[in-house]
Amino acid sequence: MITLLIGTYTRNTGSEGIYRCTWDADAARFGTPTLAVVADNPSFLIQPFLVQEGNDVFAVHETADFAGAPQGAVARYRIAGDRLELLELVGSGGADPCHVAVAGDRLAVANYSGASVGLFRVGTGPGLERVNVVRFEGRGPHPRQAAAHPHGVYFHAGELLVPDLGLDCVHRLDPVSGALRGRFTLEPGSGPRQLAIDAVGRSYVLNELSNHVDLLDSGSVVQRVATLPEVPRVTPGQRPIVSTAGSIALAAGGRCLVASNRGVDSLVAYAIDERSGRIGPPLIQPCDPHPRHFAVIGGHAIVASRDAGTLCAFELARFGTGAGPVARVACPAPVCVLSVPAVPG
């Protein structure tokens, strides 16, 4: 039995915060989600391996009005049985934080609308200390690229990598000072959203706006593949289908890459060549509306479909066969799935 924490959007949705439920892979069954803690738009969750008790969870509160300022917040929670206890809540340094990462005693948060990255020092107990806010300027050719939009933060190989949806690049920052060391430039209008980094340092860049994955190796794009199946044609008078990429993750020990599409609602899985890292043909798995995030747990992808208000479990081995989910459960406006160890209360 696996314990899941579910991040949600709470404003105008009926959700109240972070939910908890169980997943039994052997029985292919979810438990009923229950409220773990009341929270304001807790849209992304992580559990780093830095805390002495091993049961702390960090979350972004994706807002733009925390403490009367144009910023969101970063929260630190402790797992206490079926509940989460809030330890601290601090401003993120910019509006609409959407992603957070921790390495050692350092925490970084991507502020999407704030065009910035907040850098923090993490204590062993409560005591998140913001040490810097790195701001970006510029724009891209797409209507959604009127400003910089950092969408992820990844500590890797002595750097902090920041995919910027607004500037079509991945910034390379000093992980302590935030000083800009350089950037990896992508095709104009791509809209890089998230990264998946393999064991030898190759990055798979998920491009939200162009619906592509770029394989970035030694600073250069060496392959580019589409995430979308063929977009259904529309008849005269119908509105065209708009679809954007949502989430990306490596699976099966790095031998498989999975991404999600919102609009043409689906997941796509690719086999990965272990030697070159190159991406194979896509296998498409239709899913419930707006799969913003998923977690690969064993042989299943657990998908948070925001607009459907569901969690669904799909067998990775059956992608491309037309098979439906092996399990589904209702959850209000889910946007993040995090697997955590069960901790006694």
Q: What is the pLDDT of residues 293-321, one digit of tens each?
A: 999 999 999 999 999 999 999 999 999 99
Q: Is 110 in contact with 150 (CB distance < 8 Å)?
A: yes
- Is residue 37 situated within a structural domain? yes
Looking at the 3D structure of the chain, how many domains does it have?
Answer: 1
Give domain status of residue 315, yes or no. no
> CB of 9 within 8 A of CB of 15?
yes
Provide the token pair at 130: 């913001």
Torsion of CA 75, 78, 84, 87, to 10 degrees: -50
**Residues β-bridged to residue 234:** none
- Does a structural domain hold residue 155? yes
Q: What is the pLDDT of residue 126?
A: 73
CA angle 344, 77, 50 (to 5 degrees): 85
Inside any domain, residue 144: yes
Kindly provide the b/e burial profile for residues 317-327, where b requires at least 16 CB atoms within 10 angstroms of the residue's own CB.
Answer: eebeeeeebeb
Helices (H), 153-234: none
Identity of the residue numbered 115? A
State residue 269's pLDDT score. 98
Read off the CATH number of the domain in which 219 is found: 2.130.10.10
Those residues with Cβ within 8 angstroms of residue 17's Cβ, 6 or more apart along the chain or in another chain = 8, 10, 35, 36, 37, 38, 39, 40, 42
Say which residue the tokens 């970084």 belong to: 108
Residue 325 forms part of a structural domain: no
322 occurs within a structural domain: no
Domain presence at residue 147: yes
Tell the burial category of 145 from Cβ atoms under 10 Å away from its Cβ (0-12, 13-18, 19+): buried
CA angle 181, 215, 7 (to 5 degrees): 80
- Residue 253 buriedness (CB in 10 A; 0-12 / 13-18 / 19+): exposed
295 to each of 149, 267, 303, how far by Cα in Å?
24, 12, 7
Q: pLDDT at position 63, please? A: 98
* Residue-number span of the structural domain to which 137 is assigned: 2-242
Location of structure tokens 């959407």: 98
How far is 245 from 190, CA to CA, in rounded Å? 11
Q: Can you read off the two tokens belonging to residue 70?
A: 């144009």
What does the buried/exposed string (b/e) look like for 185-211 if buried means 16 or more CB atoms within 10 Å of the residue's CB? ebeeebbbbbbbbbeeebbbbbbbbbb
pLDDT mean by block of 10 residues, the chain; 345 residues:
97 97 97 98 88 78 97 96 96 98 96 98 85 98 98 97 98 97 98 97 98 96 91 67 95 97 96 96 96 97 98 97 96 97 60
Concatenating the DSSP letter of every residue in 215-253 gives EEETTEEEEEEE---PPPP--TTSPPPP-EEEEEEEEGG
